[in-house]
Amino acid sequence: MGSAILKRLTTLLQRLTAIIIILLAWEIVVRAGILYPAPIPTASRVFGVLVEMALAGTLQKHTVISLGRVFSGYTLAVVIAIPLGLAVGWFKTFERYLDPLLQTLRQVPLLAWFPVFILIFGIGELSKILLIMLAAMWWILLSTISAVQNVDPFIVKTARSMGVSEWDMLRKVVLPSAVPSIFTGLRYAYTEVILVLFAVEMLGANDGLGSVMIYGSCHPGPELFMVYSISIFMAIIGLIANYMLVGLERRLCKWKEETGMG
Amino acid sequence: MTKIKAENIKKMFKIRSNGNSKNNGNTSKELLALGGVNLSINKGEFLSIVGPSGCGKSTFLDLVGGLTKPNEGNIYIDGKPVNGPGLDRGIVFQQYALFPWRTAIGNVEFGLESKKIAKNERIEIAQKYLSLVGLSGFEERYPYELSGGMKQRVAIARALAFDPDILLMDEPFGALDSQTREILQRELLRIWEETQKTILFITHSIDEAVFLSDRVAIMTARPGVIKNIVDIPLSRAVRFEDDVRTSNEFVRSRHELWGLLKEEVVKAQQIGVKTTLKISSSEKAVAQGEAWT
Ligand SMILES: Nc1ncnc2c1ncn2[C@@H]1O[C@H](COP(=O)(O)OP(=O)(O)OP(=O)(O)O)[C@@H](O)[C@H]1O
Ligand SMILES: [Mg+2]
């Protein structure tokens, strides 16, 4: 028991080493005045600002707004892209008709959609959520399609020999086979979504963490430190999100052999 | 009594040949894999097919399994033409093809689910078949936790569990080491005796064919047809004796088969030099594509 806890602590420490070193170096370099007069706060000051924002309640308010956008867009993307990817990957006819369209749409730079959405849906929440959805969608869609196209043909043959219906084939064979690669797509999608979230909130929003960042960067005073604080905060949120995705993946893919070493 | 009857089965594959530049681009060629296979298999019989690589053995097995359709000819099971897969036939491939996300018992249950059998009965049946293949106690293991031999045992249990009359096996022991292979051959004989299935078995090994089969059919180089059928004069009891492989009957059968097979292998190599090299890469893509349609 005791040794198990010790072991976990050691691994945790191992994993944090590099981060701690960087933070310490940051603190020392700034305090030593090497970077003077660049407007860089010390690491401790950056976390201090974060705490101040939390105490004032602004951090929570904007976090909820930003994560709400991420969650809506991401969920929409998952709900649309996974079934669509299964269909396009599995049914030849579907692919023939849809693939050219998807390939073309994919070439449009993501942010170029934003003005289009604004023209159509106005500058409200809908445009932002749609853009975030689009950002997540390509990764999920493409990873699902390629996962489906790479399902082991012998597994498919075996299932077919046991007389499964087309629906069961999708549900009980194709989807589970595809799950590991879909998760890779889900993780890339999250990264893309955060990128777009910030672009959207910086370009056209007066709330959300991205807008706080823009606000901070336009003010020379201590507000400027918020730029760093929000960046660090997003990194932490990203870590948590990734951790949750990996946890879900582990649970759903416990049948997969672990690879890698050391 | 005839269980499976193949009448003049021909199977053609379209292959893309992008070799000749004068045709400028992709032309599609046809490859005759099976050139009129006639074969009858009796109820309860163990029949093996041997033949050179690429002669169409797997193609024939897929046709009997109803996974593909012949271009000409018909296959009958119990007198009724085959027009699709069905739970009267279980298939075992060399590649095991287990569902990696299902445990051993989950794999065995798969076919039972198609039969709409209730969960607890499914578990009971699956357990019975896992123990038949000697895997009691491994129910909750995932395929990655099993050795090659154990995986193939699961695949065999899975094919038997929904109680098909016919077992179709495409080089099921081809990927196993020789000891495991011999053990599984004996177990298959035992299972065959216990379950009274009709077995169509494909192998590269003459030794394996003689050891297991009532009759062995030799297929010619592509386009594959049945060249000969050889009776194996070994009783079921004799096969379980330790020195069966050195018995006169065994050696004689093996010799006879090898004599018949040899020239086909040489022929296949000649065809191979001419065509396989040219088409091999596109072939794989086509083969995969076909699995989806
Ligand atoms: N889907 C396909 N598309 C195109 N050609 C195919 C396809 N399946 C098989 N072939 C070709 O048909 C011929 C017979 O193939 P098959 O797999 O039946 O041979 P086999 O006797 O099982 O060979 P092996 O002993 O190596 O397994 C080969 O030339 C092969 O390349
Ligand atoms: Mg084969």
List phi, psi (to 5°) of B216: -125, 125
The whole-number pLDDT of residue A260 equals 54
Q: Please give the residue of chain A at the shortest CA–CA distance from B159.
A: A162
**Cβ of B97 and A152 within 8 Å?**
yes
Query: Mean pLDDT across chain B, nearest whole number?
Result: 87
Q: Please give the residue of chain B at the shortest CA–CA distance from A167.
A: B114
**A53 and A123 part of one domain:** yes
Q: Whose CA is nearest to atom 11 of ligand 1?
A: B33
Q: Please give the residue of chain B at the shortest CA–CA distance from A153.
A: B291
Output the six-digit token pair for A231: 């960046």
CATH code: domain of residue A185: 1.10.3720.10
* Backbone CA torsion sign across B230, B269, B274, B13: positive
Task: Report d(CA A170, CA A161) in Å as an integer.
Answer: 15
Tell me: the pLDDT tens digits for B147-173?
999 999 999 999 999 999 999 999 999
**Cβ of B287 and A161 within 8 Å?**
no
How far is ligand 1, taken at its centre, from the CA of residue B59, in Å?
6
Tell me: the pLDDT tens digits for A106-130?
899 988 999 999 999 988 899 999 9
B93 part of contact set with chain A, CB < 8 Å: yes
Identity of the residue numbered A178: A
> At a CB cut-off of 8 Å and minimum separation 6, what does B12 contact?
B30, B31, B32, B33, B71
Residue range of the domain that includes A156 = 42-259
**The tokens 């193949």 sit on which residue?**
B6
Minimal CA–CA distance to A256: which of A196, A177, A161, A197? A177
| B100 inside domain | no
Q: How many CB atoms lie under 10 A from the CB of residue A83?
A: 13
CATH code: domain of residue B31: 3.40.50.300
How far is ligand 1, taken at its centre, from the CA of residue B97, in Å?
18
> At a CB cut-off of 8 Å and minimum separation 6, what does B64 contact?
B4, B6, B75, B82, B89, B166, B168, B200
Q: Tell which atom from ligand 1 comes closest to the C-alpha of B290.
A: 1
How far is ligand 1, taken at its centre, from the CA of residue B91, in Å?
17
Residues 140-159 of B with CB under 8 A from A: 142-144
**A6 and A99 part of one domain:** no
Residue A50 CA, chain-centre distance (Å), reads 22
Task: Report d(CA B221, CA A163) in Å as an integer.
Answer: 32
How far is ligand 2, taken at its centre, from the CA of residue B57, in Å?
6
Distances (CA, A) of B5 to A128, B58, B240: 65, 17, 30
Q: Please give the residue of chain A at the shortest CA–CA distance from B66.
A: A161
Angle CA B65–B66–B67, to nearest 5: 90
Judged against a pLDDT cut of 70, whether residue B283 lies above it is answered with no
Task: Report d(CA A55, CA A158) in Å as an integer.
Answer: 60
The whole-number pLDDT of residue A116 equals 92
- What residues have a C-beta under 5 A from ligand 2, the ion? B 58
Q: Which of B59, B69, B201, B203 to mutate to test the pocket of ligand 1 (most atoms within 8 A of CB)?
A: B59
Write the burial class of residue B151 (CB in 10 Å: 0-12 exposed, 13-18 middle, 19+ buried): buried
Task: Report d(CA A184, CA A144) in Å as an integer.
Answer: 10
Q: What is the CA radius of gyration of chain A?
A: 23
Minimal CA–CA distance to B112: which of A168, A254, A176? A168
How far is ligand 1, taken at its centre, from the CA of residue B281, in Å?
13
> At a CB cut-off of 8 Å and minimum separation 6, what does A90 contact?
A148, A170, A174, B292
DSSP label at A13? H
Tell me: the pLDDT tens digits for B185-230?
999 999 999 999 999 999 999 999 999 999 999 999 888 999 999 9
**A171 and A240 part of one domain:** yes
Residue B8 DSSP SS3: strand
Distances (CA, A) of A37 to B42, B70, B140: 93, 81, 64
| B265 inside domain | yes
How far is ligand 1, taken at its centre, from the CA of residue B215, in Å?
23
| B259 inside domain | yes
| B269 inside domain | yes
**Cβ of B66 and A158 within 8 Å?**
no
User: Confidence band (pLDDT; 50, 70, 90) for A30?
Assistant: confident
> At a CB cut-off of 8 Å and minimum separation 6, what does A69 contact?
A125, A128, A129, A132, A197, A200, A201, A208
DSSP label at B169? E
Structural domain total, chain B: 1
- Stretch B23-45: mean pLDDT: 83
**A165 and A88 part of one domain:** yes
Pocket of ligand 1 (CB under 6 A): B 13, 15, 31, 33, 51, 53-59, 222, 283, 286-287, 290
pLDDT exceeding 90 applies to what percent of chain A?
56
Q: Tell which atom from ligand 1 comes closest to the C-alpha of B14.
A: 4
> At a CB cut-off of 8 Å and minimum separation 6, what does A150 contact?
A181
**The tokens 């012949």 sit on which residue?**
B70
Size of the A and B interface in Cβ pairs below 8 Å: 72
- Stretch A33-54: mean pLDDT: 84
Tell me: the pLDDT tens digits for B59-109?
999 999 999 999 999 999 999 999 999 999 999 999 999 999 999 999 999
| B113 inside domain | no
- Give the residues across from A69 on adjacent strands: none
**Cβ of A162 and B114 within 8 Å?**
yes
Structural domain total, chain A: 2
Nearest CB neighbour to A163, from listed B62, B86, B98 = B86
B91 chain-A contacts, CB cut-off 8 A: 157-158, 161
**A13 and A63 part of one domain:** no
Which of B68, B101, B146, B152 would you mutate first to test chain A, the one with the most A CBs within 10 A?
B101
Task: Report d(CA B97, CA B152) in Å as an integer.
Answer: 9
Tell me: the pLDDT tens digits for A83-111?
999 999 999 888 888 889 988 988 999 88
A164 part of contact set with chain B, CB < 8 Å: yes
Task: Report d(CA B206, CA A107) in Å as an integer.
Answer: 57
- Stretch A56-83: mean pLDDT: 95
pTM: 0.84
A255 part of contact set with chain B, CB < 8 Å: yes
Q: Please give the residue of chain A at the shortest CA–CA distance from B64.
A: A161
Task: Report d(CA B280, CA B285) in Å as an integer.
Answer: 9
Containing A100, the helix (H) or strand (E) segment is helix A92-107
B90 chain-A contacts, CB cut-off 8 A: 161-162
> At a CB cut-off of 8 Å and minimum separation 6, what does B70 contact?
B9, B10, B11, B34, B63
> At a CB cut-off of 8 Å and minimum separation 6, what does A254 contact?
B142
- Stretch B262-286: mean pLDDT: 60
DSSP count for chain A of H helices, then E strands: 11, 0
B215-219 vs B226-231, strand pairing mode: antiparallel
**Cβ of A163 and B87 within 8 Å?**
yes
| B27 inside domain | yes
A233-237 contacts at long range (C-beta below 8 A, 24 or more positions apart): A233/A50, A233/A59, A233/A63, A233/A209, A234/A194, A234/A198, A234/A209, A237/A63, A237/A67
> Nearest C-alpha of chain A: how many angstroms from B198?
17
| B243 inside domain | yes
Containing B201, the helix (H) or strand (E) segment is strand B198-202
Judged against a pLDDT cut of 50, whether residue A154 lies above it is answered with yes
Nearest CB neighbour to B97, from listed A155, A254, A255 = A155
**Cβ of B62 and A253 within 8 Å?**
no
Residue range of the domain that includes B32 = 2-88+166-173+197-288
The whole-number pLDDT of residue B76 equals 96
